[in-house]
Amino acid sequence: MTETILAERTTIGRLSTQPDGWRRLEWNGGSFETAHRPHTTLVEGVIKSDRHLIMATLRGGAERHEIRTDDGHRYDGPDRPGSISFLPAGCERRLRLHNVNWHWAAIGLLPDAAALSGVGPASGLEDGMVLGLLSEFERLDAIDGGLDPGYCETMASALSRYLGRRYGGMKPVAARAITLPAWRLRRIRDHIDAHLSGVIRIADLAQCAGLSDGHFHRAFRSATGKTPLAFIQERRIDAAAQLLARDTASVCDIALQVGFVSPTHFARIFHAIVGCNPSEFRRRHSVG
């Protein structure tokens, strides 16, 4: 078998920490990259390539993946095994990954791939065909120590046509947008209010909405303009403000009642939302 060229350069430009086991192989018209990362609390950086990038999380993932591209695309949600994303050539993606432990792979296609001209950036997609192809590239590379160029060109060409036909002329994430009706939002809010003093899990809120965790993040933000975490914090601070105005309990006790273990953290979040610290708020608004 004729191996592809193992290139020295990499696609990803600036990351706070580099992944392990990075391999990049090239053929006429495309490239394949794969790497893995052991558990890392936070990874920040920028991706920008002269090629269209089709990326997949093969194993593991990230608890939270924040993405912003320079053309306005946004994503904020978990990165799970099988998650697919697309980044057009020349488009810059800024990212923040929280609690990462993953193995990923990507195919890069030259920008003259006409079939991809109408495909915009996308994140958090589920696409078995794309995942299967990237997984097979990674498997063959691991077994043979390289990839056959003819095979790569054939499969990459098929992938390009597939993506163009399925996603061309539309933004995939927008097309998959899910709305939350008012009654589901009330159910979510009621669940949050009933569990303010304890742990509020995103998975439980997603279950209230009848959605997967990833779809819930996008749908909730679309409906409220806020992340679930920001909304939970606001509900906790609203409850704390009511207690501060009418209750004689200490600020520390009130912080615990609304789910803050650390009084310092509570004071910081309270000030960020209300504009003053809890003690000052109590002096201004206490009815006692």
Q: Could you read off the pLDDT of 178-192 as tens digits, one per residue?
A: 678 888 899 999 999
Per-residue exposure over 32-46, b if at least 16 CB sit within 10 Å of its own CB, e if not = bbbbbbeebeebebe
CA distances from 89 to 30, 47, 78, 161, 271 (A): 12, 10, 24, 16, 42
Identical fold between 5-175 and 182-285: no
Considering 127-141, 165-179, 205-219, the range whose residues carry the highest mean pLDDT is 127-141
**CA nearest neighbour of 137 among 122, 153, 121, 123:** 153
This model's pTM is above 0.75: no
Q: According to the model, what pLDDT value does residue 14 have? A: 60
Q: Decide yes or no: CATH 3.40.50.620 for domain 5-175.
A: no
Give pLDDT, residue 170.
Answer: 46
pLDDT (0 to 100) of residue 118 = 76
Four-way CATH pick for 182-285: 1.20.1250.20, 1.10.357.140, 1.10.10.60, 1.10.520.10: 1.10.10.60
pLDDT range class, residue 139, cuts 50, 70, 90: very high
- Residues in the chain, overall count: 288
Read off the pLDDT band of 1 (50, 70, 90).
very low
- 247 pLDDT exceeds 70? yes
Mean pLDDT of the chain: 85
pLDDT, residue 244, reads 94
Q: Where are the domains of the chain?
A: 5-175, 182-285
